Amino acid sequence: MKFDLVIKDASGEELAQVFAALGAVSRAASASMSTAVIPPMPATAGDDGDESSDTPAVVGALDGDGLPHDNRIHSEPAKITTKGVWRKKRGVTDQLVSQVEAELRARVQQPATTVAPVQPVMQQPQVPQAMPAPVAAVQPVYTPQPLPPAPVAPTYVPQPQVPQMPQAMPAPPPPMPMPPAGIDFQGFMQGLTAGMQRRDANGNPFIDGAYLATVVQTLSTAFGRQLSAITDIQNDPQMIEYAVKVIAADGRWQ
């Protein structure tokens, strides 16, 4: 405790007496303090001393003074006292508390009175949602439909028969003359020349190169001899006679 003493209009002797009296008082006070019981230090400002009523809070929120949690001066884990402020850490000095709170207020940059107190995190009970009432099935309304009209049978009107005129049958082609027996190669070539000059109804020759190739293949198969052209049979009368019969059987011999 500190007192200010003001002395006015005192002489030197009076001042000496005052100083002597003050010295005696000071010695007596020192002696009494050596035997006095020092009362316990009060709790840090903002704390109520009863931690059983504290509630947990989320770090990062603001307390009732508008300050965020700081582990330099606040207890860990973060708790809110019944006064709505952070629980102070044990053993911190008032000077450190004042310094850190000034830094926190400068960081927040808004008056503490405008900050809502931190609310404890409470788990909201899950309310079971009511199941929607089942929708009754809509029964279809049967509406009888009129029957379709009976089909009308078509009226049959007989058509007059038109007599069909008989179609004239085409005249058969004249029979091909049979080749004479014992024909030689010269007579065979004359018959081939006549067949090449003769034309059918479409203007195609009776005997052409493609047809002669099939005749050569037939002769090669029948006599077991490989022939390359029809002229290869000129020295074989039996093959000449057989070739004439094949061509005549196809209706191409003239």
In which residue ranges of the chain is pLDDT below 50?
33-46, 112-115, 172-177
Domain boundaries, the chain: 51-114, 185-249
For the stretch 82-133, pLDDT in tens is: 998 989 999 999 999 999 999 999 988 755 444 455 565 566 667 667 676 6
For the stretch 24-33, pLDDT in tens is: 655 655 555 4
DSSP the chain: --------S--HHHHHHHHHHHHHHHHHHHHHHHHSPPPPPPPPTT--S-GGG-EE--BTBB-TTS-B--TTTB-SS-EE-TTSSBPBPTT--HHHHHHHHHHHHHHHTS-GGGSPPPPP--PPPPPPPPPPPPPPPPPPPP-PPPPPPPPPPPPP-PPPPPPPPPPPPPPPPPPPPPPPTT--HHHHHHHHHHHHH-B-TTS-BSS-HHHHHHHHHHHHHHHT---SSGGGGTT-HHHHHHHHHHHHHTT---
